[in-house]
Structure 1
Amino acid sequence: MSMRRRRKMKDKIVFGMIGCGDVTERKSGPAFRKLPQTEMKWVMRRDEKKLEDYAKRHEIPYFSTEVLDMLRDPDVDAVYIATPPHMHKYYTVLAAEHKKDVYVEKPMALNSDECREMRKACEEHGVKLYVAYYRRAQKKFLQIKSLMEKGAIGEVRSFTYQYLCPVPQFDPNRPWLFQEDTSGGGILYDVGSHMIDFFLFLFGEPSMVSGKSGNLSQALSVEDVTTGFFLFENGIQGTMNITASCGIREDLLTIAGSKGALRFSIMDQAPVSLITDHGTEIFEFEEPEHSQMEMISMISDAMLGKTNVEDSGWNGLETQEILEAFKFGKEVFFRNKD
């Protein structure tokens, strides 16, 4: 068993960022500057012109096209890996070898084998590994979990989820997004990974999953329709469908319980409906200033030793295994965390 390294007493975590694309402009990057317990000292990107521009705009003092310049800085406690998924394993292992905690974008990697290698490297070098499934820290989704735990809908029985959208348009800021060799897959991997992780957050450990994906529109080279079935250890059953070639948009999760139901969206901050025989109660939420701000705050406190937040590498691996089951039409059984 590996030993966690002891961090000297300090009041903030110094981060370095690997990759600084579109997601870091609004969802994550500014949070590191605004939170009191974090500091972004370094940023690394291979495109030197874009790198320098990003560093200046976000007031990051050090920048380099060479990742080792960052990793060899003893002031750096942790790295935020915001590259396309095909580079997640490489940079995670390299960061772990340099004794840096890791916060990596989703999906965790291209495949579950890479996820296992990432977990192994972090465990062997005694560093923490967190995956950016940030709904686990947002107020809306914590409220939903709290309502369930307090018995607002009684015993949870099942859930159904449907996500519909038109064929995604090419994004020049993320040209790799629907290229399987760099992203792992289509909408299933991009937003479906968030959905699957959220189900694990709400319902616990999975027992079995099965699913099927297809490319019915042929508009892109990746899947556009996915249907999956979940069975959890506590007996809860559920289904999800993603159709990314539909003429309308919909995002609706219904959780059925013995005394009522919860209905809400996963991919935005729209209100949550609690429905019982007493009527319908609506819970409203404000849009976070930055989507990942609460998550970055939570993991940074854990890195400082202020709170005990379990590494999310295991959940990241489980999510990846479910993605693969749905993508390749497999039935997968889960046993334990060994």
Structure 2
Amino acid sequence: MNSKLETVNWGIIGCGDVTEVKSGPAFQKTEHSKLVAVMRRNKEKAADYARRHGVPKWYHSADDLINDPEVNAIYIATPPDTHASYAIQAMRAGKPVYVEKPMAMNYSECRKMIHVSKETGMPLFVAYYRRTLPAFLKVKELVESGAIGIPLSVSVTLIKSAAEKGKDPEEHNWRVNPEVAGGGHFFDLASHQLDFLDFVFGPVNEVHGIAYNQAGYYEAEDTVTGTFAFENGVAGTGLWCFVADESAEKDDIEIIGTQGKINLPCFIHGDLRLTTAKGAINFSFQNPENISHNLVKNVVSSLRGEEECVSTAETAARTNAVLDEMVKEYYKNKDFLQKSTNHKGSCRLD
């Protein structure tokens, strides 16, 4: 980006549920940041959002919002199937982009987005806001300070019951439609966990996964197991299941070191627990009212040239690569999901 922005005038493409509390208000609460326009294909819903949130302009065409001269940065909060196309269009129009996670449908699309970002000089950020939340920052601090000695392994467990059980497929959320989401709930939720581990340990250099559909409620994978290793030598395992009984639900990230361990839920707002030979200590944290507020502030500061952003296209693409690798065998011969041959490919950036 050749020049820094003094005030970031945001336009939102896709002002749906995720923007109501999680993200939308953060653009208005952040210093040197304004939300000046929103877009949704449904005119009535776009106008209603603008009215309720005090946004001066609304559109039902992404083209119109992107080409609004007052808008100088774009937040894309649509489902993943349009992330790449909207981001590329916005960057080619000279607008920096902040896009929801996962970054795109697949790693191949991520690489195209990164190429256009470099070609145009437009910054590209991704909404992995856990990189800025206090509990997750504390985990990184504990690991880096040697609180658990040398980190050896990490295990991720996410077991949830199925909201889709007993429902007609037409009632299902887009998050279990691979043609829209890139995969199932695994892509939507595991992406947060894997991105956080990238934040703590750096890139993954080896990954293997097995994906299944055990309940048959939808066509996407509903259970995934995986093993992965980071470049720094930390070994990882993961279990994700989205069709279990409520009694089996579990949300835990466990990091084991030579002198202790750390446990933290990723989605349930619970305590961080540090266990060493001296005993166990619980840490409690308060998240911002709008959960992505800290990251929005970081993005705005980056666009103003004040600091580097912690969630970039390069880091987010690595997460997409890992997701792809874990489910590639499941999607290899799926007729309902027409993918290019390099959709589910290498987990390494090159």
Same fold (TM over 0.5): yes
- The answer to whether the aligner puts 1:41 opposite 2:36 as a matched pair is yes
Query: Aligned AA for 1:240?
Result: G
Matches within 5 A, 1:16-31: 16-31=11-26
Counterpart residue number, 2:249: 249
**2:162 & 2:211 partners in 1: Cα distance?**
15
Counterpart residue number, 2:303: 303
Matches within 5 A, 1:216-255: 216-247=214-245, 248-255=248-255
**2:145 & 2:170 partners in 1: Cα distance?**
45
Matches within 5 A, 1:99-138: 99-138=94-133
Shift of 1:7: 2.3
Find the residue that maps to 1:244 and give its secondary structure: strand
**2:272 & 2:328 partners in 1: Cα distance?**
33
2:80 touches 2:180 (CA, 8 Å); kept in 1? Answer: yes
Query: Aligned AA for 1:134?
Result: Y
- Give structure 1 stretches of 5+ with no counterpart: none
Query: Against the structure 1 CA distance between its residues 251 and 175, is the aligned structure 2 distance closer, same or farther, given a 3 Å change threshold?
Result: closer
Kindly provide the CA deviation profile for residues 52-111 of structure 1, in whole angstroms up to 9, marking residues without a partner as x.
Answer: 001100111011112232222333221000011101011001000111110001111111
Shift of 1:333: 6.0
Counterpart residue number, 1:52: 47
2:134 touches 2:287 (CA, 8 Å); kept in 1? Answer: no
Find the residue that maps to 2:138 and give its secondary structure: helix
Kindly provide the CA deviation profile for residues 249-302 of structure 1, in whole angstroms up to 9, marking residues without a partner as x.
Answer: 110111000111001111133101100000101100123201111111111110
Shift of 1:185: 1.2
Counterpart residue number, 2:334: none
Query: Against the structure 1 CA distance between its residues 111 and 332, is the aligned structure 2 distance closer, same or farther, given a 3 Å change threshold?
Result: closer
Counterpart residue number, 2:156: 161
- Give structure 2 stretches of 5+ with no counterpart: 331-343
Shift of 1:184: 1.1
Count of aligned pairs between the two proteins: 332
**1:253 & 1:37 partners in 2: Cα distance?**
36
Superposition RMSD in Å: 2.0
1:210 touches 1:329 (CA, 8 Å); kept in 2? Answer: no
Find the residue that maps to 1:177 and give its secondary structure: helix
1:210 touches 1:332 (CA, 8 Å); kept in 2? Answer: no
Find the residue that maps to 2:175 and give its secondary structure: coil
1:129 touches 1:311 (CA, 8 Å); kept in 2? Answer: no
Shift of 1:334: 5.3
Counterpart residue number, 1:82: 77
Query: Aligned AA for 1:191?
Result: L
Moved more, 141-150 or 61-70: 61-70
Counterpart residue number, 2:139: 144
Kindly provide the CA deviation profile for residues 97-149 of structure 1, in whole angstroms up to 9, marking residues without a partner as x.
Answer: 11111000111111111111111111111011111111011111011101111
2:203 touches 2:318 (CA, 8 Å); kept in 1? Answer: no
Shift of 1:199: 1.2
Kindly provide the CA deviation profile for residues 284-324 of structure 1, in whole angstroms up to 9, marking residues without a partner as x.
Answer: 01232011111111111101111122661112211111111
Moved more, 167-176 or 12-21: 167-176
Counterpart residue number, 2:339: none
**2:44 & 2:206 partners in 1: Cα distance?**
48
Query: Against the structure 1 CA distance between its residues 46 and 173, is the aligned structure 2 distance closer, same or farther, given a 3 Å change threshold?
Result: farther
Query: Aligned AA for 1:267?
Result: F
Counterpart residue number, 2:209: 211
- The answer to whether the aligner puts 1:7 opposite 2:4 as a matched pair is yes
Counterpart residue number, 2:320: 320
**2:83 & 2:98 partners in 1: Cα distance?**
10
**1:16 & 1:323 partners in 2: Cα distance?**
29
Shift of 1:222: 1.2
**1:236 & 1:58 partners in 2: Cα distance?**
45
Structure 1's consecutive aligned runs of 4 or more residues displaced over 3 angstroms after TM superposition are 169-175, 329-335
1:208 touches 1:333 (CA, 8 Å); kept in 2? Answer: no
**2:220 & 2:121 partners in 1: Cα distance?**
37
**2:172 & 2:73 partners in 1: Cα distance?**
25
Counterpart residue number, 1:294: 294
